[in-house]
Structure 1
Amino acid sequence: MKSLQSFAKGYQKEMNWDIDTSSYERSRASLLNNFMLLTTEVSEVAEELRKVFNLTNKQIADGMNEEEAFKIAMETAQENLGREFADCLAYICKIANFFEVDLESSFYSKMEEVKNRQNKDIRLIHKR
């Protein structure tokens, strides 16, 4: 993740896509704009998932087995999902880099915190 953040920092500088640091108001506007762009990319991930579910349901309606239909739909969406996840990561890295947040150590620290929570979500496993 450190190399990804480093690459993103250099790439954003090369493309002149840095967050504006010339003043508080410009930084604020730039951060809000980048956050808006991030949420747009997240919604594009949701759109790709919707396509997966719609394709799965269409194939099931056409007589295909549910598991096979879902597998084919997931394979169909894999490339587009990868692109949308990459867009999300680019914006997350940009904002994290602005705040000098080490995403890798933050990630592992957060996962350890979640693992040790007393109030964990309980998942029911449905048997068929």
Structure 2
Amino acid sequence: MKELQSYTRDYQKEMGWEINSDNYAKSRESLLNNYLLLTTEVAEVAEELRRAFNLTQSNIQEGMDEEEAFAIAKERIKQDIGKELADCLAYLLKFYNYFDLDLEDSFYEKMVEVRLRKNKDL
């Protein structure tokens, strides 16, 4: 994960896609803009899921077994949903880099916190 975060930091700098840190106003605008872009990418993941469910339902209506229909639908969206998830990850990494957070440390710390929760409804 550290390599991915470092790669992303360099890539975003090279492309001029870093979150602006010149001053509060520019940072605020850039953070909000990137947050909106992240939520757009998350919505595109939802669209791919909807597409898979619609494809599954269509195949079921044509007489296909439910499990087979869903397996085919998952395969059909695999490449596109992978791209959308990669877009989400890129925006998340941008936030990690802006706030100078270590993705790997944050992830593992959070997983320990979740494991120790009394209410583990997920």
Q: 1:119 — aligned with what?
A: 119
Residues 49-58 or 106-115, more deviating: 106-115
Give the gaps of 5 or more residues in structure 2: none
- Letter of the structure 1 residue corresponding to residue 24 of structure 2: Y
Q: 1:79 — aligned with what?
A: 79
Normalising by structure 2, we get a TM-score of 0.97
In the alignment of these two chains, the number of paired residues is: 122
Q: 1:100 — aligned with what?
A: 100
Give how far 1:121 is off.
Answer: 1.2
Counterparts of 1:12 and 1:32 in 2: how far apart (Å)? 17
Q: 2:3 — aligned with what?
A: 3
Normalising by structure 1, we get a TM-score of 0.93
Structure 1 vs Structure 2 CA RMSD: 0.9
Q: 2:28 — aligned with what?
A: 28
Deviations 1:98-126 (A, max 9, x none): 0011111111111111111111117xxxx
- Letter of the structure 1 residue corresponding to residue 2 of structure 2: K
Deviations 1:30-53 (A, max 9, x none): 010000000000000000000000
| Runs of 4+ deviating beyond 2 Å | none
